[in-house]
Amino acid sequence: MAQISTSDFKTGMTIDLDDGLFVVSDFQHVKPGKGGAFVRTTLKNVRTGSVVDRTFRAGEKMNRAIVDKTEMQLLYRDGADYVLMDNSSYEQLNVDADTLGDAVDYLIESSPVTLVMYGDEIIGVDLAASVALPIAETEPGIQGDRVSGAKKPATLVTGKVIQVPLFIETGENVKVDTRTGEFISRA
């Protein structure tokens, strides 16, 4: 593994510490008037999602974790597993829903998926900022029900329930923000 110093920190960098694999969310070099310089960081644990604040001495060495991003495509769902295909080598990979996390709410057949991998371990999933998905079920809009900004629940084909405007009908494609899970527009 590559050794890096605290002076090499950048936001989004992944480091391998004794207590886990962390992504640098924020960092600040501090040079007090008295004593040695130090680096104050906010780190997010890649596996658990917990956020910790940690202070390092300036120039302290640690291991940088090399993470790879692999472009994949969802082929189909096999029971509880999702079968993904590597776009470059055409190898297939079975991944369980827990590993994919919240990304399963936005994946349908032939969806592009970017897996973030550390060695052979999947540590994250990168999705597009928004996806277009069809509505599987929603209540019909009632004539005369034109309250501005009113919303109703709608179930996507993936099973996720979102709030949509009253004029959206079953079968329509809608754009959904994958970061917040909110309706954006018709697709």
pLDDT tens digits, residue range 152-166? 899 999 889 999 988
Same-domain status, 6 and 60: yes
Q: Look up the CATH number of the domain holding residue 109.
A: 2.40.50.140
pTM of the model: 0.74
Compute how many other C-beta atoms are within 10 angstroms of the C-beta atom of residue 133: 21
Same-domain status, 45 and 72: no
Q: By residue range, what is the domain housing residue 25?
A: 2-64
Same-domain status, 148 and 177: yes
Is 185 buried (19+), middle (13-18) or exposed (0-12) by CB count in 10 A? exposed
Domain count, the chain: 3
In the chain, helix, strand, coil percent, each to 5?
A: 5, 55, 40
Cβ atoms of residues 151 and 165 within 8 Å: yes
Asked if the model's pLDDT at residue 65 lies above 80, the reply is yes
Same-domain status, 136 and 118: no
Same-domain status, 55 and 9: yes
Same-domain status, 49 and 72: no
pLDDT tens digits, residue range 68-109? 899 999 999 888 889 999 989 999 989 988 888 888 889 888
Q: Tell which of 104, 126, 148 closes a domain.
A: 126
pLDDT tens digits, residue range 111-127? 888 998 888 888 888 88
Same-domain status, 52 and 24: yes
Same-domain status, 60 and 9: yes
